[in-house]
Amino acid sequence: MPAKSLSFPNESSEYRTARNELLAAESDLRAAIEKVAAQRRALPLGGRVKEDYPFTRAGAGAAPEPVKLSELFGDKDTLFIYGFMFGPKMEKACPMCTSFLDGLNGNAHHLRDRIALAVSARSPIERIAAFGEGRGWSRLPLVSSAENDYQSDYFAEEDDGSQWPMANVFEKRDDGIFHTWGTELLWADTGQARHMDLMWPLWNVLDVTPGGRGESWYPSLSYGDA
């Protein structure tokens, strides 16, 4: 697309000057994001998974069915797993995770043309599936990790059962399944838990508005009109 100098109706010269300065900053940010993405793709292969983790998913009939980590890949060689904060001791699912997964569900059919997806939570599969059905998550493969150590091995759960929204990527090769990347920014000393923001339409849209994301607003499981 050719470069074009823009000027919207009735804008002031003050606005245009400030907007052009912001445009330069946005261009620098885009370049930095591309550089980091290339660095991420160039990572050496991570560690081999210690076992073919046994999960449980909702079956075609009434009964749940076992599924192994290797089977979650389907016909793909890359698998993205999101650790959904919905443990058996939690009264309700995490609203933040739910908001992210609402958006991921809408894009899942596009993503699944290139990679495999799964959403793993610690609760029994019946509870996870019922919640997902209520949210309309028809495109997200939901699995329960209640019978394995996946969540704790890949930092989505603490020893005391506390849950964390950790996303991980795995690659399946002829000689095994390997971890390739995880959202370690969650655990970095940044002072902000925004490790998923670049994948999250909610925050990206709010960040371009005058009010931004606000100081204390967070998504809810339901709103007044729902």
Condensed to tens digits (0 to 9), the pLDDT of residues 106-146 reads: 999 999 999 999 999 999 999 999 999 999 999 999 999 99
Pairing type for strands 167-173 and 78-83 reads antiparallel
Q: Which two structure tokens, joined as six digits, stand for 4?
A: 């074009």
For the chain, give the mean pLDDT: 92
Give the type of residue at 131: F
Q: Which two structure tokens, joined as six digits, stand for 101?
A: 């997964």
Q: How many Å apart are CA 83 and CA 226, to the nearest integer? A: 26
Give the type of residue at 170: F
Count other Cβ atoms within 10 Å, centred on residue 132: 24
CB 68 within 8 A of CB 53: yes
Cross-strand partners of 68: 54
**Where does the pLDDT of residue 4 fall: very low under 50, low under 70, confident under 90, or very high at 90 and above?**
confident
Condensed to tens digits (0 to 9), the pLDDT of residues 153-175 reads: 999 999 999 999 999 999 999 99
Q: What percent of the chain has pLDDT over 90?
A: 77
Go through 158-197 and write b for each residue having 16 or more CB atoms within 10 A of its CB, e for each that does not.
eeeeebbbbbbbbbbeeeebebbebbeebeeeeeeeebbe
Query: What's the pLDDT at 87?
Result: 95
Condensed to tens digits (0 to 9), the pLDDT of residues 73-118 reads: 999 999 999 999 999 999 999 999 999 999 999 999 999 999 999 9
Q: How many Å apart are CA 100 and CA 73, to the nearest integer? A: 21
pTM of the entire predicted model: 0.90
Using the predicted structure, report yes or no on whether residue 34 has a pLDDT greater than 80.
Answer: yes
Give the full edge-to-edge strand order of the sheet including 142-144: 65-68, 54-57, 142-144, 116-121, 78-83, 167-173, 176-182
